């Protein structure tokens, strides 16, 4: 539930260096709105969350311009975002599904951020079956193997952030 704090200040600084104020951002797996709390004063943010009880509990819809209840694997959003943040999302789906989600996003945004924990087993939490880490074996090496278009942005032994690696 929610996103780890590791690397958030560094990634927020990177976003502010690489995106203009008011750029459009989609926060995938919004949960309690952590990314919106960090960046709402800088980006125009939309959010999507798959688990309705989190929306009822945390009320993240109050932090975003537009908010959606849905599964990112089925959500069609066109080319309206400058940045898409997949914060602690890909580990919750199969490699094949995650690859499809990233492929769909790739040409629909200027850049994206993928944040994942490494070697982190997690089962259902708080009654949420979507909390299960299907990819509980992630390492910085196999993230690059499974998602070869991604480039490291900020890595620690336990956690990593990746982008398209394209700079203006």
pLDDT at 167: 52
Mean pLDDT throughout 126-132?
Answer: 82
Give me the domains of the chain, ranges plus CATH numbers: 8-163 (3.40.50.150)
Rg of the chain on CA atoms, in Å: 15
The pLDDT tens digits of the residues spanning 70-83 come to 999 999 998 889 99
Tell me the HSE value of 15 on the side-chain side, using a 13 A CA sphere: 29
pLDDT at 56: 94
The pLDDT tens digits of the residues spanning 11-62 come to 999 999 999 999 999 999 999 999 999 999 999 999 999 999 999 999 999 9
Q: Which two tokens stand for residue 40?
A: 């709402």
Q: Which two tokens stand for residue 120?
A: 């982190």
The answer on pLDDT for 145 being more than 60 is yes
Q: What is the pLDDT confidence band of residue 1, given thresholds at 50, 70 and 90?
A: very low
pLDDT at 166: 64
Q: Look at the chain and count its residues.
A: 168
The alpha-helical segments, DSSP class H, found in the chain are 8-18, 34-39, 52-58, 95-106, 140-146
pLDDT at 6: 85
111 near 51, Cβ under 8 Å?
no
The answer on pLDDT for 149 being more than 90 is yes
Residue 155 phi, psi (nearest 5): -125, 140
């Amino acid at each position: 539930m929610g996103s780890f704090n590791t690397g958030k200040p560094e990634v927020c600084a990177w976003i502010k260096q690489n995106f203009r104020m008011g750029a459009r951002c989609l926060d995938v797996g919004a949960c309690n709105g952590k990314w919106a709390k960090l960046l709402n004063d800088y980006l125009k943010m939309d959010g999507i969350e798959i688990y309705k009880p989190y929306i009822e509990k945390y009320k993240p819809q109050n932090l975003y311009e537009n908010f959606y209840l849905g599964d990112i694997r089925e959500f069609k959003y066109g080319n309206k975002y400058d940045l898409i943040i997949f914060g602690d999302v890909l580990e919750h789906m199969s490699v094949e599904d995650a690859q499809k989600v990233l492929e769909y996003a790739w040409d629909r945004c200027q850049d994206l951020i993928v944040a994942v924990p490494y070697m982190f087993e997690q089962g259902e939490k708080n009654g949420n079956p979507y909390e299960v880490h299907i990819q509980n074996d992630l390492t910085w090496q196999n993230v690059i193997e499974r998602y070869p278009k991604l480039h490291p942005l900020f890595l620690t032994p336990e956690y990593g952030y990746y982008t398209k690696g394209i700079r203006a």
